[in-house]
């Protein structure tokens, strides 16, 4: 609730370190941190988009809590692109995947908002992304679910896949080494619409 990541001593609950990733209540951390190779990864979002803040993926040193790298979803000075689901790590390739939320109102392009993004886990450098087409969007448009890694044999060929669902009710499945090419397949699994409490 205070937009901070905490490390606790598991034996007694003592706070070992605390790192603030924004100013509450506008900034909010909806997701759980993901641990990989001595680092923690967590997304930054707004509290219900009122007001929106700049979405980010943040890497922290798990021992010290120091922020080591940050990937801004929208340009500095812009808002939107909140990340409110945990990233998924592909350990053999040292990469991470996550989805982002809706664009803000910015004069600059926000290509990484409402998108699935693939980053290098070591330094959060961009590898690939796919932006949801305007024709597939719904009001309050977000990728709010955690990405899922899976394998599939398609036309006799084994494929390493990653999938994620959007609020439009469509599950999108991508080849992990072909994110920018768009989904290999997609399936309508729910009715798209507004926020869950909107009916």
Nearest to residue 57, comparing CAs of 161, 141, 127? Answer: 127
Buried b (16+ CB within 10 A) or exposed e, 169-193: ebbbbbbbeebeeebeebeeeeeee
Residue 151: exposure state from Cβ atoms within 10 A (0-12, 13-18, ≥19)? exposed
- The Cα–Cα gap between 34 and 86 comes to 7
pLDDT of residue 195: 65
Whole-angstrom distance, CA of residue 196 vs CA of residue 150 = 27
Q: pTM above the 0.95 mark?
A: no
Q: Is 181 helix (H, G, I), strand (E, B) or coil?
A: helix
Which pLDDT score is estimated for 117? 98
- Asked whether 142 and 167 are in contact (CB, 8 A), the reply is yes
**Cβ contacts of 49 within 8 Å, gap of 6 or more:** 82, 101, 102, 140
User: Please, what are the averages of pLDDT over each run of 10 residues along the chain (199 residues)?
Assistant: 95 98 94 97 87 94 98 94 95 97 84 96 98 86 92 95 94 97 95 67
Rg of the Cα trace of the chain? Answer: 17
Return the number of other C-beta atoms located less than 10 Å from residue 2's C-beta: 14
Residue 107: its pLDDT value, please? 80
The reported pLDDT for the residue numbered 1 is 84
Contact at 8 Å (CB) between 79 and 105? Answer: yes
| Parallel/antiparallel/unpaired status of strands 15-20 and 4-8 | antiparallel
């Amino acid at each position: 609730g205070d937009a901070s990541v905490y490390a606790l001593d598991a034996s007694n609950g003592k706070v070992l370190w605390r790192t603030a990733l924004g100013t509450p209540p506008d900034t909010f951390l909806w997701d759980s941190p993901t641990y990989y190779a001595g680092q923690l990864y967590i997304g930054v979002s707004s509290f219900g988009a009122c007001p929106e803040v700049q979405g980010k993926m943040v890497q922290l040193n798990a021992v010290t809590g120091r922020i080591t790298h940050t990937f801004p979803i929208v340009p500095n000075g812009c808002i939107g692109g909140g990340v409110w689901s945990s990233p998924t790590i592909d350990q053999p390739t040292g990469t991470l995947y996550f989805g982002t939320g809706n664009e803000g109102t910015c004069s600059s392009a926000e290509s990484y908002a409402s998108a699935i993004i693939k980053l290098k886990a070591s330094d959060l450098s961009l590898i690939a992304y796919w932006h949801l087409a305007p024709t597939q969007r719904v009001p309050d448009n977000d990728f709010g679910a955690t990405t899922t890694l899976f394998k599939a044999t398609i036309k006799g060929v084994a494929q390493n896949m990653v999938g994620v669902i959007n609020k439009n009710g469509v599950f999108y499945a991508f080849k992990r080494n072909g994110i920018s090419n768009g989904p290999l397949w997609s399936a309508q699994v729910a009715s798209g619409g507004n926020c869950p409490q909107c009916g």
